[in-house]
């Protein structure tokens, strides 16, 4: 497993679009457990009552570029559990 050893953090990039809140919570839990830094951004906007979530997906996952492959493997595992 790769981790970020140095204090300098690589720039975050978009890793994937998340399908729903349950998937987002599960993936965030696993990444936090493995000490993989990430940021999740929901597309929900109260002014548009979630319209963008219907069009674009629930939200996006951002993380350091060098951890992309490891994160995608975790996402694939989570999505195959359903």
Low-confidence ranges of the chain (pLDDT < 50): 6
Question: Which runs of consecutive H residues, i.e. helices, occur in the chain?
Answer: 21-33, 51-56, 68-81
* Three-class DSSP category at 17: strand
* pLDDT at res. 7: 52
Residue 60 and residue 58: Cα distance in Å, rounded? 7
pTM of the model: 0.77
Q: Under a CB-based contact definition with an 8 Å cutoff, are residues 22 and 55 in contact? A: no
* pLDDT at res. 80: 94
* pLDDT at res. 43: 83
CB atoms within 10 A of CB 79: 13
């Amino acid at each position: 497993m790769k981790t970020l050893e140095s204090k300098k953090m690589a720039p975050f990039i978009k890793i994937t679009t998340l399908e729903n809140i349950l998937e987002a919570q599960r993936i965030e839990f696993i990444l936090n457990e493995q000490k993989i830094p990430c940021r999740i951004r929901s597309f929900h906007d109260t002014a548009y009552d979630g319209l963008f979530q219907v069009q674009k997906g629930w939200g996006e996952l951002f993380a350091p570029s060098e951890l992309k492959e490891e994160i995608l493997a975790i996402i694939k595992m989570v999505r195959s559990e359903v």
